Structure 1
Amino acid sequence: MEKVLVTSGVEKTWPKEKASVLFLGEWCKIYSRRKKWENLEHTTLKYHWDDREKLFKDYKSLLILYESVLEELALILNKKHNTNYSVRYWRILIGPWLGMFIYILYDRWFMLKEAFKKHEINKTNIIQVSEEDLAANDYQEFHSLIVGDKWNEMMCGEIIKFMGKEICYVGEIEAEADCDEKLENELIFESRKNKLKTFIKNLLMRLNRKDSHLIIDTYMDLFKLVELHLRLRNRPISWERPEIKGNQFSKKARSWVVTITQDHKECTEFIELLKTFLPRFMPRIYLEGYKSLVNLTANSLWPKNPKSIFTGGAFFNDDFFKAWTASQVERGIPLFIGQHGGSYGICKWVFEEDHAQKISNNFLTWGWNTPGDSSKCISIGMLRSLPSKVRRENESKRRKNVLLVQWSYSRYSFAMFSSTIGSGQWEEYLNNQFKFVDTLPKVIQDKLIVRLGRCDFRLCQYERWKDRYKNIYINSGEVQIKELLKDTRIYISTYNCTTFLESLALNIPTIIFWDPKHWEIREDAIMDFKLLKEVNIFFDDPTDAANHLKRFWNDVNTWWLNRKTQEIRSLFCSKYANQDRNMVVRLTNLIGDYSKSNMLKAE
C-alpha cells in the first residue's frame, strides 16, 4: 500500500483510493471532519516544537538569521527603489513580515524534512498555484492568509517542489473561511459603519497643524486621550489611514537574490530555501507597490513635520503607518510605543516586544522594566483605564457565576512568543480545561460560563465543548466580557495575556492556571508568579485550581480579602498592571521633553 503525505486540512489533496496516510501534523485533522480522517489508515508526525527547549533554541537562532537577512534586504531594497535608508527604516517597514515569514518557513520546512527522512513517502498531492498567488498584497493580507488551510497547503507544496520530491497536482481550490462567520459579519458591519467616521475624520484632519504630535491606536480611553492631547497643546484628532489598493504582480520586480553573509552552516539547506522564497513571497506593497505607498504617505493629511509619534498597536500590522513613521523616524522624529498586551514583560520570549524596543526611542510599559542601562523601557502604567469602582466585601456573595475564559490559536504555528503553538499543543490546553471542569461538583458546573476564544480557526471550540458538556453555558461572544463580569463571583484565567492583569487590577477574585511547559515566563517574572502561587491565585495544575475553587466557593472573601493575598495582588499589579493616576502627566512630560530636545538639536 502506497504512503501519501497530507500537509493540511484541504481534503481535495487527500487520497481518494485506499492508501496509508501520513498527516504532517495535528492541524490536518479538523474535529468536525473526524469521521473522515478516523476511517483512514493514518499516522501523524510528531511536532518538532513539542520539544520546547528546541523551540526556544530555534527562536534565538532564527532571530540571528533575521538580523542578517534584514541588513541584506535593506541594501537590496535601497538599490531597487533608488533610496538610501537605514536598516532601522526597513526594520520598521518590513520587519514584522520578515520575522514571521522566516519563522513560518523554517517550521514548515523542518516538518517536511522530518516526514521524508523518517517515512517512505510515495506521493504528495498538491494544489496548482501560479507565481502570483504566492505574494500577499500587504502585511494584513499576509496575516489573514497564514492561519488558513489553503495558504499552508500552498506553502508546503512549494517547499516539496523545492526539495525535488514526487508530487501530483490536483487542480485549484476555492478559498476557505478560516475565521468564523460571525467574526466576518462583524468586520463587514464595522466597515460600513466606518465610512461615515472616515468622512468626518478627513474633515477634522484638514484642520491639524503640520507639526502636530501624531497619537494613534494607543488603547487609552477617550478622556485620558483628550487630556494628553490638550496637555501637549495638540488638537484631539483621530487619524484616518488612506486605503491601500492592490498591486500588480511583476516577476521583474522579484529578480534579485539575497546573499546571507553570516555563517549558518548548520542550516545550509534552509538558507538556500529562504534565499529562493524571499523574493517570491515578499508582499507586493514592499516591491511593486512601494512607490505608490510612499506617495500615499506623502500626499496624506497626516502631519508633514510631527513633533513626535506615539502608538500602542499600529507599529506591527499597519503598513501605511509603518511607511509614514519610517520616513519620519529617518528624519529624527522620536517614536514612542506603548505596551498593549499582557504577555509583555512576562513571556520568556516575545518577538513583537523585541521589535518594538528596537524601532522605538522608548517603549512604555505597564509597570515593569528590563534590567540594564541600554534598556529603552520606561514604566508608565496601564494606558487603558479600568472601572474605578472597588468591589465591596459582600459583593462576592451576591455574584453567582464562574467565568472561564478560553484561548484560541491558529492550528498552524505563526506567533513568536512563549505560548501554545500548533493544533496539538492547543488540544493539550483544551484537555486541561476539561480536567478543570471535570473536577468541579455539579453545583459549580451549573454556574459556569465558558467564554470561547474570539476566532475559531476551524478548531470547532463550540462543538467540542457541547459534545462533552451538554448543560454548560457556552458564550461565543454574544455577550461582552465586561457584562459577564457583573455577575461573576470568580474569574478563571487560563492563558498568559491581558485578561488576568485586568481582573487582578480590578480586584476581582481571580484564579489563574496554565501549563508552564507551554507558557514559559522570563526569569524576571518567576518570583512574582511564585508569590501568586503562595496565595493560591496561580496554579500550574488544573485539578489543583479546581479544588481551590471548590474549597472557597461559598466563602470567597476569606481567601481573597486575606491580608497576604491582597498585599501580593497589589505588589504584582504595581509591576504588571499599574494604574498610575499621574500617567498622563508623566507621558506628557516624556513626549514633551523629548520633542523639545529634538527641536533644539535641529536648530
Structure 2
Amino acid sequence: MAYLATTALDKFWDKTADEIVFLGEWCKTNSDSKDLQNYKTMPFLWSNQEIVKTAFDECWAVYYAILPILSKHLNEIHNINKSDRYWKIIIGNWLWCFIQIVYDRYKNINNFIAEYPNFNTFVLSKNSYITPLEYGDFINNISSDPYNLQLYSQILDYLGFNFRALDYNLNQRHVYKYGHKSLFKNTLFRFIEFFAKKDACITITTPNFINKMSFIKLFFNSDRKIIYDDFNDLISIDIKKDITMRNNFTRLYGGNNDFIKLLFYLFEQNFPMLFLEGFMDMRKNALSRSNRLTKVYFTTNAVYFNYPYKFFIAEHIEQILFVGMQHGGNYGSDNSFNGDKYEIDISDYFLTWGWKYGIDTKPCTYEMINQNIKPKKDGYILFVMNDMLKYLYRIESFYQSSAIKLAYLPKTISFFRNVKAIDKFLVRTYPSDSGFKIAQTLKDNFPSMIFDNHSKTFRKRLKNARLFVCDHLSTTYLEAMAMNFPTIVFANKNYCSFRRPELFELLIEAKILFYDEIEAAKHIDMIYNNIDDWWLSYSVQKARREFCYHYARTSDDWAKEYMKVFNNILENDARS
C-alpha cells in the first residue's frame, strides 16, 4: 500500500511504509535529499499552458458563480444590503486566490488517488485547524507546510477518507492590526493638503513612487487638485471566532458541482475572520473616517492588503470613481494573469503601462519606469533571479511551486555552465527563499560566483552594470527596457503564454528574449566587449520601442501623462 506525503512536515510521514509517494517537489524542501532517493514524486500539474488556461478560466467561472451567493449570505449575516461589487472589493482578492489554491490541491489529491487508489496517510487533527484573519494572514499561511496540511486534510475528509490524525500547533491569530506612521509622509501629505484647492477632487493612495519628490511634482501638475492619503490609521481589532456564524456555509450551495461543494465546505473553517466576526468593527472604522470625499480615488495596489482602504472604497463606491493602475509586469501580456482580471473588474477605470484591454483600460505610463540609468562601460553584468512560494498560490503562466525546482532552476544552472563570462556577473537572487534553496544550489555549483547582498536596491545596482540579464519575464526586464538599458532575458517556453505573441517575437528576433538559455549565453559572450553595437542597432532599437510602447511606455513628463488621463476621466465620467 502506498503512503501519501502531502507536505514537507516529516512528522506526518510513515517512514516505515513500503512505498512513500510525495504529492509534489515541495515535500522535499525540509529534508536532506540523500534520504529521499527511494521515494516517488507525483508530476507537476501546471507545465502545459493549455491546461493552465483551462484551469484559470474554470476558476474564474466559479468565482463569478459563487460570489453572488456569498454576497447575499454576508448581507444577511451583517444585516446590510450591499452590491456584489462591494463584496468583490472586500473579499474578492482572497476569494479568487482561495478558489485557485483549493483547485490545485483538489486536483493533486484526485490525480494521486487515480494512480494509487489504495493508500494511507496521516492528517492534521481538527483541533489543530486555524482560520486566517484576512488576505495577508492567509498568504502567510499558504506559504507554510502546516496550513497546507490543513487544507489537504480537509479535502481528504470531504472525500470521505478517515486517516490517523496528529496534532500540530499552527498559531491561530486573533488580533488584526494595521497602520504605521511615517513622519516624512505625514508631514509631506499635510503640507500638500494645506496648499490643495478646497475643491481638490483626486485622492491618491499608495502610488508606489520611486522618487519622494514625485508626490510634489504630480501635485503641482494637477493644479493642486490632488491630495494624498495612505489610509495608514493605527487599527487593532480583537476578533473571536463564532462557530454558529460559520455553520451555514455548506447549505448555501444547492448545485451538483463537486468542486463548488468542496469550497463551501472549506469556507466554514477558512473564511477569514475579518469578513465575518470582525466585519462590523472594520466597517465602523471605515465609516468613522472624517476625511472629505473626493470624486476620484486612485491606487496601484492598496486593494490587496490595506483593509481600512478597501472598506472605505467599498462603502463609498456608488459615490466615487475608483481608478486602479498596473504596478508590475505580466499585466496585459499574459493569457492567464489574475492581477489585471481582478483589478479591472473592481475599477471604474484602470491605467496601464501602454496596453489596452476593453473600454475601461487607459494606456498611460508609470513613474517607476521613467528613470534614467545609463550602462557603465566597465561594469558588471547584473543577473536578477526570481523565486515563488513552494506551494502554488495562483494559477498563472509562470514558474511557481514545483516548477521552480523542475524547470526554472535547471535552466539557470545550464545558462551559467555555458556562459564564458561567469566571473563578470553579479547575481541577485530573490531576497527570501521559497524552500528550494536556490542561492545555496548556485553556490554549490559555482563556488566562485559573486552574489548581491541586497544592501542596495535593484536600481542602484543597475547604475554600476553594463548589461542586465534576467531569467524570467516579470517586472525588472520592463523597467530596464523602458530605460533603454541593454537587456537580455531567457525563459522556458512551456511557462509562457501571451495575448500578443507577435510583440514577444520582436524581442526574439532582436536577440533580447531567448527560449534557449545556451543561445542566450553564447550571445552574451559574443557582445560582451561591445554591447552598444548590438543594443543601439536600428533593428534592436525598433523592436524595443515597439514592445515598450505596449508594455512599458515612457514619457518626457510622466506627471502630465497622469493628469491627462485623470482630467479625461473627470471631464467624461466624474460623479457629483
Question: Normalization by structure 2: what TM-score?
Answer: 0.91
Paired residue secondary structure (2:431): coil
| Pick aligned residue for 2:48 from 47, 51, 57 | 51
State whether residues 206 and 301 of structure 2, in contact with CA within 8 Å, keep that contact through their aligned partners in structure 1. yes
State whether residues 253 and 261 of structure 2, in contact with CA within 8 Å, keep that contact through their aligned partners in structure 1. no
| Pick aligned residue for 1:240 from 208, 232, 251 | 232
Query: Aligned pair 1:140/2:123, yes or no?
Result: no
Aligned to 2:175: none
Paired residue secondary structure (1:165): coil
Shift of 1:16: 4.3
| Pick aligned residue for 1:431 from 403, 410, 423 | 410
CA distance in 2, matches of 1:81, 1:205: 38
Check 1:350–1:174 CA distance in 2 against 1; reply closer, same or farther (3 A cut).
closer
Query: Aligned pair 1:509/2:486, yes or no?
Result: yes
Shift of 1:300: 3.1
Shift of 1:106: 1.2
Aligned to 1:530: 505
CA distance in 1, matches of 2:179, 2:287: 27
Shift of 1:482: 2.2
Matches within 5 A, 1:262-411: 268-300=257-289, 303-329=291-317, 331-370=318-357, 374-388=358-372, 390-391=374-375, 395-396=376-377, 398-399=378-379, 401-411=380-390
State whether residues 420 and 426 of structure 1, in contact with CA within 8 Å, keep that contact through their aligned partners in structure 2. no
Deviations 1:244-303 (A, max 9, x none): 43411111111223677797x6xx3222211211232110000001100101112235x2
| Pick aligned residue for 1:225 from 200, 211, 215 | 215
CA distance in 2, matches of 1:586, 1:505: 16
State whether residues 425 and 449 of structure 2, in contact with CA within 8 Å, keep that contact through their aligned partners in structure 1. yes
State whether residues 211 and 304 of structure 1, in contact with CA within 8 Å, keep that contact through their aligned partners in structure 2. no
Query: Aligned pair 1:457/2:434, yes or no?
Result: yes
Shift of 1:223: 2.9
Aligned to 1:486: 463
Aligned to 2:34: 35
CA distance in 1, matches of 2:63, 2:203: 30
Query: Aligned pair 1:543/2:518, yes or no?
Result: yes
Check 1:306–1:416 CA distance in 2 against 1; reply closer, same or farther (3 A cut).
farther
Check 1:422–1:256 CA distance in 2 against 1; reply closer, same or farther (3 A cut).
same
Deviations 1:30-72 (A, max 9, x none): 176323333xx42111222233322211110111111010111
Matched to 1:438, the amino acid is R
Check 1:404–1:240 CA distance in 2 against 1; reply closer, same or farther (3 A cut).
same
Matches within 5 A, 1:59-98: 59-98=56-95
Matched to 1:574, the amino acid is Y
Matched to 1:494, the amino acid is D
CA distance in 2, matches of 1:519, 1:15: 38
Check 1:471–1:158 CA distance in 2 against 1; reply closer, same or farther (3 A cut).
same
Check 1:201–1:491 CA distance in 2 against 1; reply closer, same or farther (3 A cut).
closer
Paired residue secondary structure (1:404): strand
Check 1:469–1:31 CA distance in 2 against 1; reply closer, same or farther (3 A cut).
farther
Shift of 1:495: 1.3
CA distance in 2, matches of 1:324, 1:543: 51
Paired residue secondary structure (2:20): strand
Q: Which moved more, 1:529-538 or 1:50-59?
A: 50-59
State whether residues 25 and 47 of structure 1, in contact with CA within 8 Å, keep that contact through their aligned partners in structure 2. yes
Q: Which moved more, 1:199-208 or 1:553-562?
A: 199-208
Matched to 2:525, the amino acid is K
Shift of 1:346: 1.2
Matches within 5 A, 1:188-199: 194=181
CA distance in 2, matches of 1:555, 1:32: 46
Shift of 1:451: 1.0
CA distance in 2, matches of 1:6, 1:25: 9
Aligned to 1:20: 19
CA distance in 2, matches of 1:226, 1:239: 19
Paired residue secondary structure (1:337): strand
Check 1:170–1:210 CA distance in 2 against 1; reply closer, same or farther (3 A cut).
farther
Aligned to 1:185: none
Matched to 1:141, the amino acid is D
Check 1:200–1:253 CA distance in 2 against 1; reply closer, same or farther (3 A cut).
farther
CA distance in 1, matches of 2:95, 2:528: 48
Shift of 1:380: 1.1
Shift of 1:110: 1.4
Matched to 1:563, the amino acid is Y
CA distance in 2, matches of 1:589, 1:506: 22
Aligned to 2:9: 10
CA distance in 2, matches of 1:429, 1:244: 41
Check 1:192–1:380 CA distance in 2 against 1; reply closer, same or farther (3 A cut).
closer
Shift of 1:18: 4.6
Check 1:511–1:361 CA distance in 2 against 1; reply closer, same or farther (3 A cut).
same
Paired residue secondary structure (1:507): coil
CA distance in 2, matches of 1:15, 1:202: 58
Shift of 1:477: 2.2
Query: Aligned pair 1:575/2:550, yes or no?
Result: yes
CA distance in 2, matches of 1:458, 1:445: 25
Shift of 1:519: 2.2
State whether residues 410 and 423 of structure 1, in contact with CA within 8 Å, keep that contact through their aligned partners in structure 2. no
Equivalent residue pairs, number = 566
Check 1:553–1:582 CA distance in 2 against 1; reply closer, same or farther (3 A cut).
closer
State whether residues 250 and 261 of structure 2, in contact with CA within 8 Å, keep that contact through their aligned partners in structure 1. no
CA distance in 2, matches of 1:591, 1:170: 56
Paired residue secondary structure (2:263): helix
Check 1:259–1:379 CA distance in 2 against 1; reply closer, same or farther (3 A cut).
farther
Paired residue secondary structure (1:349): coil
State whether residues 205 and 228 of structure 2, in contact with CA within 8 Å, keep that contact through their aligned partners in structure 1. no
Shift of 1:197: 6.1
Aligned to 1:446: 423
| Pick aligned residue for 2:110 from 101, 110, 113 | 113
CA distance in 2, matches of 1:237, 1:316: 16
Check 1:542–1:136 CA distance in 2 against 1; reply closer, same or farther (3 A cut).
same
State whether residues 8 and 28 of structure 1, in contact with CA within 8 Å, keep that contact through their aligned partners in structure 2. yes
CA distance in 2, matches of 1:375, 1:48: 35
Aligned to 1:184: none
Shift of 1:11: 1.4
Matches within 5 A, 1:178-193: none
State whether residues 122 and 166 of structure 1, in contact with CA within 8 Å, keep that contact through their aligned partners in structure 2. no
Paired residue secondary structure (1:130): helix
CA distance in 2, matches of 1:175, 1:461: 28
| Pick aligned residue for 2:399 from 397, 416, 420 | 420
CA distance in 2, matches of 1:195, 1:580: 30
Query: Aligned pair 1:254/2:243, yes or no?
Result: no
Deviations 1:331-379 (A, max 9, x none): 3300111110111121112111011111111110111112xxx431111
Paired residue secondary structure (1:222): coil
State whether residues 49 and 496 of structure 2, in contact with CA within 8 Å, keep that contact through their aligned partners in structure 1. no
CA distance in 1, matches of 2:336, 2:158: 31
Structure 2 unaligned blocks of 5 or more: 173-177
